[in-house]
Structure 1
Amino acid sequence: MTLDQISVRQIKGVSAPKEEELHAFGVQTVADLLDYFPYRYEDYRIRELSEVKDGEKVTVQGTIRGNGILQRYGRSKSRLTCKIEIEHMLVTAVWFNRHFLQSQLVPGREIVLTGKWEQQRLQMTISESEFPDKAGAPKSGTLQPVYSVGGGITQPWMRKTVGQALAQYGAMIEEVLPHSLVEQHGLMSRRDAVLHIHQPGDVREGQEARRRMVYEELFLFQLKLQAYRSLNRKRGDGIAHKVNGETIRLFAQTLPFELTDGQKKVVNEIMSDMRQPAAMNRLLQGDVGSGKTVVAAIALYCTVKAGHQGALMVPTEILADQHLRSLQKLFADAGIEVGLLTGSMTERRRRDVLAGLQMGMIDIIVGTHALIQDGVFFRSLGLVVTDEQHRFGVNQRSVLRRKGLNPDVLTMTATPIPRTLAITAFGDMDVSTIRERPHGRKPIKTYWVKHGMMDRVLGFIRKEVDEGRQAYVICPLIEESDKLDVQNAIDVFVQMQQAFPDLKVGLLHGRLTASDKDEVMSSFSENETQLLIATTVVEVGVDVPNATLMIIMDSERFGLSQLHQLRGRVGRGEHQSHCILVADPKSETGRERMKVMTETDDGFEVARRDLELRGPGDFFGTKQSGLPEFRVADMAADFETLELARDDAAELCAKEEFWTESAYARVRAYLQKDQIFQGEQLD
């Protein structure tokens, strides 16, 4: 019997009610409990007071030099004080609501105190205390684990129960990593690591135990991804697009601009994948305005020339309309039929589009999530492109993929992803990156101003409009809210109409109907509207080259990546563009965001700083991204281990002996349990 088959009820001291409470934490078996690691440690090692900073929590040992003085407040509250000699200093120790200790405070007795040190008053506020002469193992001198607990499960009970589980079942902990990797990286055995992560003898031991468990967690996660990739390539049941390089080159020459070196490089990577019989699964990431759409257009052209159909899924109808127009322009002379499918279409138009898709009369379909609804069938789907992938849930992307027989998949994002996250969230994908801007694009100048400087901002709007340019003003909310004191779009719309009575001011937000949104956007695109007040509905993909000024109200309320996306709506034409952040941030994080935005307009640097400020879980929105939740690993802090684990897993999966030899049986069993061999698509 293995540890994942033994119920926690078998651990001495775990009653039926406690078992139920452990189940609420996801702890069902002994294996679950031993893998329920502490998230930090309380340091009870005894220190010298002379090396402790004011306000710091510390554990010290001293001798009682007076009787305890007790003051009571009401029925249950009390304050107990006593003079303790510590390193030849007389320190006042203060306990709150610990009246029962008074009788134990005997002059001359040794005591160990843990609490907050107040240097000026020579006083310690005590959180825990113990007497070395008392029976039972003292905490002092140790690092005590701190677990995530609640309900009837307390820290002392959890520490005691984990200790009991280690005593009863520690000898049954089995190694899961191949011996060669444990040796190669100088890792603790799994048994030692589990023991020392729960009960570290010292800091170094705890660090080594954590290093081992971080590597194991990241390696097993990467092994799933790399095994899937390896098997997918071996299966070869995708579509091998038979298109020669000359056809692609001739099409590229018809484009109204020359491709950058970065674009050429990623086109070659994508074409190489599309020619293979294994299904492509590639992430294309590039900064705002780096020309990803043109690369996607070339890939779509390739699938059509090979006799298949392409689908481009985008998160909003505004963006779908824009991509439709762009692709129709690019394919005007190529005889390629581009269609549109969105939720707001009339039933008759929708029926026509669906028939065209099924009969193969539509070569490329652009659409929103309407593409993944029932009743949408393709004659032969060869390539799926999803734009702004973090806006779609994992399931939505895989539904579209299943509308063909293992079509190639190209996923695009203008939210540059730090390398660490790309390896983790998209470890089963190949990643292509466009780093440079198209020729002639000027960097956007970004400024941060306080609300009190709005007169100067209005003056700047007037200057740009007088020169024939246009401006966006972005607000966090549509209407006034009692809860949030922020500039809302409707109020700002009225204010701007009053400030600029001679200009046409537009209002765009998510509650407008699709036709109203189209009307507002086309009016702005054609410079009939000079000033557009909007919510973040313009964040993705809206392209108006004549717009040179982006003003973001209450910008501390937006995340860094979102601010960068909004900034990218300008700077798309020949004229110098500016972004003005209007904010009075009260938090350090808010001020840091403003600082980052004014220091750099490199999306990859913004993304790196965003990851540092927010952490990986919030980077895409954990629910949608499919990011794993690791027990011990931290993607930002452990990125070197992540890369190492990824390389090790890829190397192992490429070896023939990995799939056959007994030395790797345990990790193969892990993959089997996770259904890697069932032909499931990982997304």
Structure 2
Amino acid sequence: MPSISLKTPLVDLAAIKGSGLSPAVARKLAAAVAGFAGRVDPYDTNVEDLLCYFPARYEDRSNLLQIDKLYDGIEASVELFVRVSGAFQVGKNRGPKKPPLYIFELTGGDRERVRKPVVVMWFISGKTAKPVIEYYSKRFSRGVRLVAHGRWEWDGRRNTFVLKVNRPEELEILPNSEDDETFGLLSTVSDSQSASPAPSQDREDEELEKDEIRAEFATVHTARHVPVYRKLGPFQTKRLREILSFVVKELDVGSVDENLPSGLRERNGLINRADAITEIHFPPDSAKISEYESYRSNAHRRLIFEEFFWLSLSLQLIRGERRKESKGSVIEITDEMKRRIAELLPFRLTEAQRRVVRQIFADLTSDAPMNRLIQGDVGSGKTIVAFITMFAAIENGYQAALMAPTEILADQHYRNARSFFEKAGYQVGLLIGSMKATEKRRIQESIAKGEIQVIIGTHALIQDAVEFEDLGVAVIDEQHRFGVLQRAALKKLGTNPDVLVMTATPIPRSLAMTVYGDLDVSLIDELPPGR
């Protein structure tokens, strides 16, 4: 009977027969997963958190690329048997204060020793370079079988292919095949040559670094579609693969609740959640590895759809609640106001700007508070649209604020705002963090009394000392530079004011509707003449 459910605590895996985890290693696993899953207490992590740590890529080890099939620039996984390994020092003229620099190289060939060997290399430096070299020399001793993945390049000097790696721990050592002794590859390997733990490594991590593979896990690493994981805490991909193989095998699929309606799954051709969770880690033999590499497998499609479905639904619920909120400011758009705006404008608006202004005016006069995102390239005229929005609020007796992510940008907006609003008789103030305390207090008092109608600033606008007499519109420039909390803090400065956010970051409309699902999206897709 399966003994594991999605809610099984990771620290309890050590007590389950066949897990191969000691209590200390189970605690380390829980701590590593807690960091990934955002858990404060590692004892709260469970099997579902672990199963959400998806593979970074997949390898078809039922058909690894042969050395003679390599070509310059190919990214591929190649099975190698180490023939010789070692390091040599380079950059001997680097200076006495710089640490020594070495290149570690291993030369590997095919099991049959009939194809030209290739080279895998990486740099080692620092005061502990020599013990590190000793560690790698033992780890990659003669006859060791491994898989090397990356971009292979032709080296004319060596007259062979070379793979340069940044993290040699990603070179995965495989169990030796039963025919190795026939070819003499292991004849010089003794037990004393097995790699000891890497320098500076905790003794508790020794179990994680062992290259020996238990018999029950031998087939997990070879002769199949194999998941490759990024290192998680002290756990390398091979150890993670073994742990996840055990978890998937012992998982009670009945504990995996289906969270999508059957009709929705059928219409979109989606597999059930239990199959998706297991197949994303261990693809079935009939699966196409190319679909997994491109995230188009049945498992990927199901889990991606599920995540976007629930995100979209939650944002729609938030939007629905927002539209039920009562609006603190009542803004009227009159013909006289439109005439005054036209007199202030130094140029004629583009059709795209006029379309967005009409959308904003409809929001301002509605019963629900505005929450709109304007997306447009640099120079498309987002700022003048924001000024028109702020002017509409001021004409109705409210204050308007614009928050920028940097003091330089805030100062630029301040100068432009003065030339626009002061012609209409309105006062413009600047509030930024670098101001002297006395100047800040003067501006804050003027804001609280309503003497300043337009306030431009940075995060200083959302400090506790800032109080508005009656904030009607809040504008946030470069939306992606502010978090949700900053946006909410600015909104709280008024009685549910209308909020307009701007960004020049290119976002496809479909993605914008998802990421900014609580916002209505407007696009300025036309540049003014001469830009």
Please indicate the TM-score interval, normalised by the length of the shorter structure. Answer: 0.5 to 0.7
User: What is the CA distance between 1:169 and its match in structure 2?
Assistant: 2.3
Is 1:84 matched up with 2:112?
Answer: yes
Is 1:273 matched up with 2:381?
Answer: no
Is 1:369 matched up with 2:415?
Answer: no
Matches within 5 A, 1:317-396: 317-332=407-422, 334-396=424-486
29, 32, 46: which is aligned to 1:29? 46
Matches within 5 A, 1:92-491: 128=174, 130-131=176-177, 138=219, 139-150=221-232, 152-171=234-253, 172-202=255-285, 203-204=287-288, 206=292, 207-233=297-323, 235-239=324-328, 241-254=330-343, 255-332=345-422, 334-419=424-509, 422-439=512-529, 441-442=530-531
19, 24, 34: which is aligned to 1:17? 24
Task: Tell me the TM-score normalized by structure 2.
Answer: 0.68
Amino acid aligned to 1:232: R
User: What is the CA distance between 1:179 and its match in structure 2?
Assistant: 2.4
- SS of the aligned residue for 1:227 comes to helix
The 1:315–1:59 alpha-carbon spacing in structure 2 relative to 1, beyond 3 Å, is closer
CA contact (8 A) 1:114 1:128 kept: yes
CA contact (8 A) 1:339 1:365 kept: yes
Q: Which residue of 2 aligns with 1:450?
A: none
Task: Tell me the TM-score normalized by structure 1.
Answer: 0.54
Matches within 5 A, 1:556-595: none
- SS of the aligned residue for 1:382 comes to strand
Amino acid aligned to 1:131: S
CA contact (8 A) 1:84 1:93 kept: no
Q: 2: distance between equivalents of 1:390 and 1:396?
A: 11
User: What is the CA distance between 1:318 and its match in structure 2?
Assistant: 4.4
CA contact (8 A) 1:4 1:30 kept: yes
- SS of the aligned residue for 2:33 comes to coil
The 1:3–1:282 alpha-carbon spacing in structure 2 relative to 1, beyond 3 Å, is farther
The 1:100–1:381 alpha-carbon spacing in structure 2 relative to 1, beyond 3 Å, is same
Amino acid aligned to 1:7: P
The 1:335–1:180 alpha-carbon spacing in structure 2 relative to 1, beyond 3 Å, is farther
Amino acid aligned to 2:341: A
- SS of the aligned residue for 1:422 comes to helix
CA contact (8 A) 2:4 2:247 kept: no
- SS of the aligned residue for 1:269 comes to helix
User: What is the CA distance between 1:164 and its match in structure 2?
Assistant: 1.9
- SS of the aligned residue for 2:317 comes to helix
The 1:49–1:340 alpha-carbon spacing in structure 2 relative to 1, beyond 3 Å, is closer
The 1:356–1:189 alpha-carbon spacing in structure 2 relative to 1, beyond 3 Å, is same
Q: 2: distance between equivalents of 1:324 and 1:69?
A: 66
User: What is the CA distance between 1:23 and its match in structure 2?
Assistant: 2.6
Amino acid aligned to 1:84: E
Amino acid aligned to 1:53: L
User: What is the CA distance between 1:21 and its match in structure 2?
Assistant: 1.6
Q: 2: distance between equivalents of 1:320 and 1:58?
A: 51
- SS of the aligned residue for 1:362 comes to coil
Identical amino acids, percent of aligned pairs: 37
Amino acid aligned to 2:459: H
CA RMSD of aligned residues (A): 4.0
Amino acid aligned to 1:39: A
Q: 2: distance between equivalents of 1:252 and 1:359?
A: 26
The 1:2–1:406 alpha-carbon spacing in structure 2 relative to 1, beyond 3 Å, is farther
Q: 2: distance between equivalents of 1:29 and 1:236?
A: 38
The 1:270–1:71 alpha-carbon spacing in structure 2 relative to 1, beyond 3 Å, is closer
- SS of the aligned residue for 2:70 comes to coil
Q: Which residue of 1 aligns with 2:122?
A: none
CA contact (8 A) 2:67 2:116 kept: no
- SS of the aligned residue for 1:26 comes to helix
User: What is the CA distance between 1:321 and its match in structure 2?
Assistant: 4.0
Q: 1: distance between equivalents of 2:59 and 2:406?
A: 49
Q: 1: distance between equivalents of 2:153 and 2:510?
A: 42
Q: 2: distance between equivalents of 1:173 and 1:58?
A: 34
CA contact (8 A) 1:59 1:140 kept: no
Is 1:52 matched up with 2:52?
Answer: no
Deviation per residue, 1:527-569 (Å, 9 max, x gap) = xxxxxxxxxxxxxxxxxxxxxxxxxxxxxxxxxxxxxxxxxxx
CA contact (8 A) 1:248 1:298 kept: no
The 1:364–1:313 alpha-carbon spacing in structure 2 relative to 1, beyond 3 Å, is same
Q: Which runs of 5+ in 1 are unaligned?
A: 62-67, 103-111, 443-683
- SS of the aligned residue for 1:331 comes to helix
The 1:186–1:359 alpha-carbon spacing in structure 2 relative to 1, beyond 3 Å, is same
Deviation per residue, 1:492-512 (Å, 9 max, x gap) = xxxxxxxxxxxxxxxxxxxxx
User: What is the CA distance between 1:32 and its match in structure 2?
Assistant: 0.7
The 1:16–1:427 alpha-carbon spacing in structure 2 relative to 1, beyond 3 Å, is same
Q: 2: distance between equivalents of 1:92 and 1:53?
A: 11
Q: 2: distance between equivalents of 1:40 and 1:69?
A: 24
CA contact (8 A) 2:429 2:443 kept: yes
CA contact (8 A) 1:6 1:29 kept: yes
Q: Which moved more, 1:168-177 or 1:124-133?
A: 124-133
The 1:91–1:390 alpha-carbon spacing in structure 2 relative to 1, beyond 3 Å, is closer
- SS of the aligned residue for 1:383 comes to strand
CA contact (8 A) 1:44 1:114 kept: no
- SS of the aligned residue for 1:212 comes to helix
User: What is the CA distance between 1:209 and its match in structure 2?
Assistant: 0.8
User: What is the CA distance between 1:245 and its match in structure 2?
Assistant: 4.4
The 1:299–1:167 alpha-carbon spacing in structure 2 relative to 1, beyond 3 Å, is same
User: What is the CA distance between 1:394 and its match in structure 2?
Assistant: 4.1
The 1:333–1:162 alpha-carbon spacing in structure 2 relative to 1, beyond 3 Å, is same
The 1:34–1:353 alpha-carbon spacing in structure 2 relative to 1, beyond 3 Å, is same
Q: 2: distance between equivalents of 1:289 and 1:278?
A: 30
